[in-house]
Amino acid sequence: MTTPQAASTIAALRQALTEGSLHPGDVAREVLAAIAAHDDPAVWIGAIDGAAVERAAGLLDSRGLEIDRLPLYGIPFAVKDNIDIAGQVTTAGCPAFASVAAASAQVVERLLEAGAVVVGKTNLDQFATGLVGTRTPYGVPRNPFDPSLVPGGSSSGSAVAVAAGLVPFALGTDTAGSGRIPAAIMNVVGFKPTPGLVSTRGVVPACRSLDCISVFALTADDAVAVFEAIAGLDLSDPYARPQGARHLIEPREPTDLVLGVPDAATLAAHVDAAYREAFARQVDELRELGARVNVVDMAPFLAVGDLMYDGPWVAERLAAVGDFIEGHPDDVLAVTRAIILGARRFSADDAFRAEYHRRELAIATAGVWDEVDVLCVPSVPGVPSLDDVVADPVGVNARLGRFSTFVNLLDLCAVATPGGFTSHGGAGRLPAGFTLIGPACTDRLLLALAGQYQETHGSDRALGALQRGRPRDRPRRSSTVEHRSDATTIPLVVVGAHLTGQPLNHQLTGIGASLAATTTTAPVYRLYAIAETTPPKPGLVRVGDGDGGASIEVEVWDVPAARLGSFVAAVAPPLAIGAVCLSDGRWVSGFVCEPTALDGATDITTFGGWRAWIASR
């Protein structure tokens, strides 16, 4: 692959593969190298089988003459780990639930038949129950725009994998927004097809009557390519859309479209100021394409969305995995267990009453489609922090889905579309996109409009979290430590429990510290797991030449100088703040440990870092 940007889009790869300047084996090797170099193991569940990926790519190399009939020839992709791949473990985010799939999900089969190469399984909120991306025992995938913020879920790993340029596209699932929410937070396209157009056979159910496969890509054009490969009637899927109801509406010019947008009061009630400002700009940009804009009453749509979490549809999750949870209560996260087993409170008549109410609300929304062709809403109302989720795991999750939860309940399709960045807010500019929503089978129309928007207004904007097009005043962080002349912050090396996604990271974000770099120490350290510490903590010890020293993964955080003293004062023995030598030869203040801590400690140097050791457990 010639450039990181080319590595990230199906269109660019397809062109290079067709011209012969690249071969599937080249693509596979560079993708594997990119994954190995990426410093966030929480993106994936299970190890990446590089040999299997290269074998699959090698088989395609031998079929080069068939490229014209294989629309995704040599294109790597990732799969959310509630979707089966034959011979691989499916966990649905719960290790005790894991089992080896006897057959691939139909959507995976169709992609392989189209010439795509599966790379690995991605992390998710356990049993796809959540929109935050933090409800997982496999670690929280890091938000590359601000590590103190959630990545979005439940398809967190798939969204991050595409945003980081590790794969050109990925599969997720979307019942209440599990594809669109993380796509918006990760600045990528998140396409949720009309229910039933894409088979869900081979997917661990969340709400089986509502579940949809979702597609993550950097461009709407790429999402179209994937959709064309995966859409198809599957008579083995009881929720497949009947043949007579599958006619797709063709795209139209923006000048022929009327967009419906929420009124100002609704936006003010549900959306943070920075995201309201971004949405107003995006609506103006859609007007520039020629679309007309009408204000619509969103109240009945939002009322439908309330049924997703406050109504008996959660009982579908109980039907799917309730028996397992009741038999393995300690193997399921507390918040996930409480949500799913909480569905016991609903009775059969509750379910029918809710369905009657949903039908009434659906009639109330139907008139909107006489006035507009497409709804346009903010994809997310804002992005919560990891600490926000800890403080209010249910409320924060529900707010994230304010404009997403009603879509499947109303048999609609939707495309979360990158729309640039906020002009202010939080620690810096953050992705702020919009979602286009349409009636059943307007999938191509929505994707075409999203593609026209990206072509017109996105040429100078970042794709995902990649360097190209990133706003000039928000430079991408380097993977090495930069010299700073800013005396208001002091760099601090962290090794274990304070790393991004680890249990004490909030102590850094809580004092306004920001991640400056992920790097390694000089090869003169050994790493130990200190005995009897809560939460578990490592000890970093410098050793002499010939004593088996190694380079250890660390993070460097910029800590406000005014807050460093109080932070250091709270560091409890046997840990201490000393000087750590980094791989570039510079010495930086950081966590070390007293020699007495090594009594009973476990030497974990061979793992190369704390995260790898935690993952091995």
- By annotation, the residues acting in catalysis are 80, 154, 178
> Looking up tokens 């050994």, which residue turns up?
526
Quote the tokens at residue 37: 């170099």
264-268: long-range contacts (C-beta < 8 A, 24 or more apart)? 266/298, 266/299, 266/302, 267/378
Axis crossing angle, helix 24-37 with helix 10-19, rounded to the nearest 10? 140
CA distance 88 to 98: 10
Amino acid at 489: T
Axis crossing angle, helix 348-366 with helix 299-310, rounded to the nearest 10? 160
The upper half-sphere exposure of residue 154, i.e. CA atoms within 13 Å in the direction of its Cβ, equals: 28
CA distance 398 to 513: 28
- Beta strands 258-262 and 292-296: pairing type? parallel
CA distance 422 to 276: 9
Whether residue 574 is preceded by a cis peptide bond, meaning omega within 30 degrees of 0, is: yes
What is the arrangement of strands in the sheet containing 575-581, beginning at the earlier edge strand? Answer: 514-520, 553-560, 489-494, 587-593, 575-581
Whether residue 312 is preceded by a cis peptide bond, meaning omega within 30 degrees of 0, is: no
Amino acid at 464: G
* Contact predicate 527/549, CB 8 Å: no
| CA distances, 544 to each of 529, 547, 550 (Å) | 20, 6, 11
Burial 451-482 (b: 16+ CB within 10 A, else e): bbbbeebbeebbbbbbeeebeeeeeeeeeebe
- The distance from CA 362 to its chain's CA centroid, rounded to whole angstroms, is 30
**Sign, CA torsion 64/67/70/73:** positive
| CA distances, 171 to each of 108, 159, 190, 230 (Å) | 9, 9, 10, 10
| CA distances, 589 to each of 477, 485, 578 (Å) | 20, 16, 6
Nearest Cα residue to 174 out of 83, 294, 265, 38? 83
- Phi then psi for residue 472, to 5 deg, are -60, -30
Radius of gyration of the chain (CA): 24
CA distance 529 to 513: 25
Nearest Cα residue to 71 out of 29, 4, 2, 18? 18
* Contact predicate 477/465, CB 8 Å: no
The upper half-sphere exposure of residue 575, i.e. CA atoms within 13 Å in the direction of its Cβ, equals: 28
* Contact predicate 416/409, CB 8 Å: no
Task: State the greatest distance between any 2 C-alpha atoms of the chain, in Å, as a whole number.
Answer: 77
CA distance 369 to 294: 11
